[in-house]
Structure 1
């Protein structure tokens, strides 16, 4: 597949804006997904929403939101810039990138965003959501929570779960970008050669990419959440031990806990992110021929 190169600063701005918009609009689904993946009694998405609204009100569904919005903004910016960079490196002499190379570019982009953006923001978000379950939460918000985590656990406290995050983000980006690029190329070549796609079609393709991503990477997401919970240090030695305990004590289906809310979020986020990104790039002229 051939590609048009985005200008790095334009790609960073468009990606960061798309990431922030997507994170805020879809955060309640992320909150429910994360709550459902903690150990202990299983809770259905409806029960989590009902309990949160009863005890915390609507704002309770946005516990830890600031951490994800900031992290998602940085993450999306890094993701699009690094993906474009890896595509350029892997393109052949004609400027085309095969599906396997696109998969590799997505993997590299996911690993990059996991290190620079995702792990700290996801760790803080997860701990804030876990803490919000307590009758008297110990964290008063993003800044206080981050300072408390660093004070109690050191800088590595916000990098807990780095390995499963890298695996999840690498798989996420590899599957999502490859699915999106392949479907976009197919639609353009069959029905709209040489023409930009309407936002509705871009949203639909992004949504399908999100759907495929959810089911292929869900186990990594569950392990990541467990490793970033408040009780992780006392329960799990590492990610492999965490996976082993989940499998032997709770069964293989536990790896797909939270699929419904994550599916809702990633299908929406896939559509939102790619649609916002494509439109911003178009408006600011950030794509080179």
Structure 2
């Protein structure tokens, strides 16, 4: 009984103090940013995944088939997997980035009130992308399996068709173990580490270009965050897109007991050999459109929430 009371006291004491701190505010704001991003861009994400795995790659044809076979709900298939985790994931990403970018900023040249240097921003983004891969890989694996599943597919067994993320995760763990849950970890890390460096560096540069001095004041306009965030998303996706195509193919479901590809090099060789180098850019236009919408929403929601929290904290 005492241990329960101690645990309750720890929780009730910790969270108010944590949210009142700078770290807590950044964590909460990141969570709201992630929610805004997943709601605004998930249908386009489904189209991107289908394009990367298809032969034709036509976004309109894929969209029409999804609506005809599954209805509008087909565009949101698998959303519960990232939505259930996106609040924590996005919150953790922004928090880790804030800590790392400050840590890599030279204290001898900047005061505590100055924004992180652009070099520190890039290094902090790189480290953030690498660390989040360990959490993101299983989530995206489950999401991709659900997004590529259609109501008209003919499964080879009753366990091949799943109703939700837990069903997919249990099936993967049962047949492939923990290694199967983390299939695609290497390619996810290779994609996300440099992409996040480009992502945060572009955002910081663009917001300062659009509204000089906003990095120091932290008071950028809504339109500044929206456009700078959108451009940051576009830049990072263009930079890493071929790796994302390979990741989708490596993590895609297969009707064979063994994986279709032995690794990243094998996936690249077979994909290019069968479909040419254009396959590495298939679905890019959908990804770019989604990136602008999603990341504009993420940074706008993040900045707005952060300003509200700091404003309330100062009253």
Common fold: TM-score over 0.5: yes
Secondary structure of 1:131's counterpart equals: coil
Uncovered stretches (5+) of structure 2, i.e. residues with no partner:
1-20
Q: State the aligned residue count.
A: 282
Cα root mean square deviation, aligned:
2.4
Secondary structure of 1:92's counterpart equals: coil
Structure 2 residue aligned with 1:58? 72
Runs of 4+ aligned residues of structure 1 deviating over 6 Å after TM superposition are 190-193, 286-289
Aligned partner of 1:214 among 237, 248, 253: 237
Find the structure with the greater CA-based Rg: 2
Structure 1 residue aligned with 2:62? 48
Q: Does 1:285 align with 2:300?
A: no
Worse overlay, 247-256 or 78-87: 247-256
Pick closer, same or farther for the CA change 1:241–1:57 going to 2, 3 Å. same
Decide whether the 8 Å contact of 2:26 with 2:306 is kept in 1: yes
Q: How far is 1:174 from its partner?
A: 0.8
Q: How far is 1:100 from its partner?
A: 2.9
Q: How far is 1:209 from its partner?
A: 1.1
Q: How far is 1:185 from its partner?
A: 2.5
Q: Does 1:106 align with 2:121?
A: no
Worse overlay, 164-173 or 232-241: 232-241
Q: How does 1:156-195 map to 2 (within 5 A)?
A: 156-189=179-212, 194=217
Matched residues in 2 for 1:151 and 1:286: separation?
49
Uncovered stretches (5+) of structure 1, i.e. residues with no partner:
1-5
Decide whether the 8 Å contact of 2:208 with 2:214 is kept in 1: no
TM-score, normalized by length of structure 2? 0.83
Decide whether the 8 Å contact of 1:281 with 1:287 is kept in 2: no
Secondary structure of 2:148's counterpart equals: helix
Secondary structure of 1:285's counterpart equals: helix
Pick closer, same or farther for the CA change 1:65–1:193 going to 2, 3 Å. closer
Matched residues in 2 for 1:193 and 1:90: separation?
17
